[in-house]
Chains A and B, each alone.
Chain A
Amino acid sequence: MFDFFKESFDYKTFFLALTLAVIGILAVNSATMDSGMREFFGRDILWQCTGIVLALTIMFSSNRLLQNTAYLFYALTILLLMFVLIAGKRVASHTSWLGFLGIGGQPSELAKVATIVALSKFLAENEDVSMEWRTIGISIGIVGLPMILTLLQPDLGTTIVYLAILFPILFWAGLQPVIIVALIAPLVIVIAEFTGTAVLVFTVVAFGVLFFVLSRRRLFAVTLSFVAVAFGLFMEYFYRKLLQPHQQKRIQIFLNPSLDPQGAGYNALQARVAIGSGGLFGKGYLQGFQTQLSFVPARWTDFIFTVIGEEFGFLGSAFTLLTFGALFFRAIRIAELVKTKFASLVSIGITSVLLFHVFINIGMNINLAPIIGIPLPFISYGGSSIISDWMMVGILLNFYAHRKEH
């Protein structure tokens, strides 16, 4: 046993995650202090402990178990997502909650992990057909199915997370950068269109240049550029002519919440004031004026970072971010250490999903990203997300323990 911990236990990953969990427990404690939601604090500790036990269980499981059961796991979560659509409880206008025996849960959190695993298995086991159009198509299908089911709930935030699964894993699997850029281009063009015509023109031109830089085949680059221009023109037509002014407005508010100060913009403004007032050292634990006086809504879930920002200041915020950064570097290291392609792809998928959550969640607290309700890993209160975060840690620990095996 002692030998195992010396040789096979990745204490770096484990303690980095544990540090984040402790920050989370402290933040949830502060956020719920005077809120009437006090029971969340106890439950948060319970979820974190459950998550740790789950992570250790996964670590001790056999090295092939995950790869062998990947498609089964994926199929089960797809069924759960479908079931949610039919029977789900509506929480805050999403139908993403399932209630069993008094225990609620969001299958969409679990589905993220399952999708990473299934996509990695597919790409790892089809090496000979590596990166043909067929492979790319099936990959998009594997990610697209849960994506559509999540969009139907409708949960736009979690839907977008799936893009952070698809592209990085394809990239790591060896897909040519020009194809990745070509696949990302339509999404960026859509966002550029909503931002303004000048931005759209710039974006389309930039993609054209990128295509020529990245592809040695001139004709291919010309074709891609042409498609990008055509798509840009179509979007311009779609946005200006087909969308009603109020629909345009809603998209603009989504991208820039300060246009709607009574709705989403109010939360964003209060969050910025709370974080900015934290200063270098913060106001001290449990001393946050804004968060304690409950000016920040949903401050134990989507806006939990305001507590860290206000009470622990820039130093606390930076410490949290550096801890995340160290965890991501460790996960990338594991992707390089492991001997199987499957484990390597899964490690990169976990890294990018967590990074995406961190960037968007903190980004929406500080006006860097649109407000899409996705949790801050390990820190936001929420059973399903804490469990799936620890599950991903467990998978990394398992890979590390078996890193020398083929």
Chain B
Amino acid sequence: MFDSDFGSRARSFMVRGVVVLALLAVIIKLGDMQIVNQMVYGKRSEDIVTRIMVQEPMRGKIFDRYGNVMVENDPAYSVSVVPSDFRSDEIAPLAALLKIDTTDIIRRIRIGERISPYFPVLVRPDISFRTFSSIEEHLNSFRGVYFDVEPKRVYVGKANAAHILGFTKEISEKQLETLGDYYKPGDIIGYTGLEASYETILRGEKGYRYLAVNARGQLMGEYDNGKDDVPSQEGSDLYLTVDDGLQALADSLLNGKRGAVVALDPNTGGVLAMASAPTFNPSVFSGYTTRSEWDSLVNNPDRPLFNRATMAALPAGSTFKMVLASAALQDSVINDNYTVDCTGGFLYGNRIFHCDLPQGHGIVNIIRAIQVSCNVFFYHLMLKVGFKRWTQFGRMYGFGQKTGIDLDHENPGILPSEEYFNQIFGKDKWTKGYLLSLAIGQGEVSVTPLQLACYVMSIANFGKYYQPHLVRYIYDRQTGKMYNTQYSERTIPIRKEVFDQIRHAMYLVVNGPGGTGFPARIPGIEVAGKTGTAQNPRGKDDAWFVAFAPFNHPRIALAVLVENSGYGAMHAAPIAKKLIEYYLNEDNPVPQEPSKGIVADAALR
């Protein structure tokens, strides 16, 4: 069929054929547009041009573990301006009508023009229906001014849960530059919390409406009966592991304090509650946030926007002692026959390291040392176990690294090692005295409340480390399917007998004679815990308490931090007690499986 020579007749025929076909395709398409459909296009062109209005998608809702709504959307009105149609002498009257600054309108138009003078830029979001109906008539007299219904976030749960949920806000100029093509000025975007980390899942996809506008920029109605419109796609819903009621209690217990609470389900790693105080009201940001409201939150010295549960890295005090106890028992460096006589202090080099009890605890073994929180015992133990193993066990429990929770920002904390000390102090510039502080969770070691809760979780469940998480299911409104989220888990290589001893000691902390955690004792519920009091260079000590309950089949593991308050037993343990009491006595103990049924595992993150 083909002559394989260069420039053959068959080839030249084919080359001509390609030219004819290509040009014919173009001419046929032109004929279709210009002759067959000329009327359609002609009408569009005559004196009508199109303007595109963005149809904001409905953002996904957020539910708690029992299916209670925590966040949903309310309609609000918004007003936009098309820069190319808008006359600058109308800025002042429009600003007056919408009750905003003229400088604000000018700034917004200037940003919008950079993208296109033909697209509407948002000038005023969040206008209530009442206000809107009173100004609608006036708005129609402006040229190039449009309005639309736009969903707005409302927080309907019992809990404030500001640091879990995060907030949505109008996109900043900096985000516009970095986040790429999808976002346009005036768009609402998740700033913090789940709103930020699940932004692409929650937000949905924008739709577009084509409006017909005449040559004088006045609205003529739907363009081509909406044939070219692209409908918006609703965002997906999140079903959390969080217990709204427990979260509300955690929020209220921290009220007026600085601190954090993290409560986990030790069987899954799901977060039952995560609170940080001081907090803020996320609804301040949905809709129109005034400059002063924003400034007062950002400039507050107590940093209410800062999520202490995942971001505050502090020494954990005595709650950290189980790391060293695990190492000693697992390595069989000691057993529970090994005792130390605590006289209230420990001389090392030329320095005395004190115990909490000035007169000393007397003769203690490891169980008793945890129960009464004897520092001297752990000073001895640290020298026997060694720095290296301590660091390794700390790492097994997840310290010094991010937990991988599904929030955007997390502090990894610091878990010192020999290399770390050599690096920050210089080789041979540090002494073993530094280790004694580490033994009791003081000094260079720092942890987040979330890390500490995960550590208690894995003690409670005999060494299972579940990746902590907030989202359990994702409901995709486009497909109508429920997706299961996937998280990692690992087993900490420590023998069951070691956990038995440590758990027993933690039981005695709360329930035994002389146990430091007695304020967390609950009649009818076997609580195990550990107190911690960490020195804070800025004021009073930080109070810590970690706990899990019930002892035999734990359903909750938690860490409580109250900054600059004093003893952990006094200030943190009572909070833990109330949370455990509430959660285990709740009416609704079985989490509701979503009614839609789970069809697949999510591969969304």
For residue A224, give the distance in angstroms from its CB to the closest CB of chain B: 17
Q: Are B34 and A314 in contact (CB under 8 A)?
A: yes
Give Cα A309 to B116, complex, Å.
Answer: 24
Known contacts A174-B5, A348-B15; is-contact A289 B27 (Cβ 8 Å): no
CB neighbours of B180 from chain A (8 A)? 246
Q: Are B15 and A276 in contact (CB under 8 A)?
A: no
CB neighbours of B4 from chain A (8 A)? 131, 174, 176
Interface residues of B in 22-58 (CB under 8 A from A): 22-23, 25-27, 29-31, 33-35, 37-38, 40-42, 44-47, 49-50, 52, 54
Q: Are B12 and A332 in contact (CB under 8 A)?
A: yes
A381 within 8 A of B: no
Q: Are A174 and B6 in contact (CB under 8 A)?
A: yes
Known contacts A276-B40, A277-B38, A279-B42; is-contact A176 B2 (Cβ 8 Å): yes
Q: Are A279 and B26 in contact (CB under 8 A)?
A: no
CB neighbours of A276 from chain B (8 A)? 33-34, 37-38, 40-42, 44-45
Q: Are A314 and B12 in contact (CB under 8 A)?
A: no
- Contact flags (1/0) for B294-311 with A, using CB distance below 8 Å? 000000000000000000
B20 within 8 A of A: yes
B119 within 8 A of A: yes
Interface residues of A in 349-381 (CB under 8 A from B): 351, 355, 358-359, 362-363, 366-368
Q: Are A368 and B184 in contact (CB under 8 A)?
A: no
Known contacts A261-B208, A262-B184, A266-B52; is-contact A279 B35 (Cβ 8 Å): yes
Q: Are B19 and A269 in contact (CB under 8 A)?
A: no
Give Cα A322 to B27, complex, Å.
Answer: 9
B425 within 8 A of A: no
Q: How many inter-chain residue pairs (CB < 8 Å) link A and B?
A: 150
For residue A393, give the distance in angstroms from its CB to the closest CB of chain B: 17
Closest to A328 in B: B19
B16 within 8 A of A: yes
- Of the listed residues B33, B50, B180, B210, the one surrounded by the most CB atoms of chain A closer than 10 A to its CB is B33
- Contact flags (1/0) for A312-325 with B, using CB distance below 8 Å? 01100110011011
* Interchain CB contact (< 8 A) of B34 among A130, A275, A322: A275
Q: Are B45 and A289 in contact (CB under 8 A)?
A: yes
Give Cα A334 to B601, complex, Å.
Answer: 63
A137 within 8 A of B: no
Known contacts A273-B45, A279-B38, A325-B19; is-contact A341 B30 (Cβ 8 Å): no
Known contacts A172-B11, A341-B6; is-contact A277 B184 (Cβ 8 Å): no
B200 within 8 A of A: yes
Sample of 9 more A-B contacts, CB < 8 Å, known A174-B5, A335-B12: A261-B52, A262-B54, A262-B208, A266-B118, A280-B34, A324-B23, A325-B19, A355-B19, A368-B26
Show 29 residue pairs from A and B whose CB-CB distance is below 8 angstroms, ordered by the A residue. Answer: A130-B6, A173-B6, A245-B200, A250-B181, A258-B228, A261-B210, A262-B52, A263-B181, A269-B228, A275-B33, A275-B34, A276-B38, A277-B46, A279-B35, A279-B42, A280-B34, A289-B46, A289-B47, A310-B45, A313-B34, A318-B30, A321-B30, A325-B23, A329-B19, A336-B7, A359-B25, A363-B26, A366-B29, A368-B25
A residues at B contact (CB < 8 Å): 130-131, 168, 171-174, 176-177, 245-246, 250, 258-263, 266, 269-270, 272-280, 289-290, 293, 295, 309-310, 313-314, 317-318, 321-322, 324-325, 328-329, 332, 335-336, 341, 344, 348, 351, 355, 358-359, 362-363, 366-368
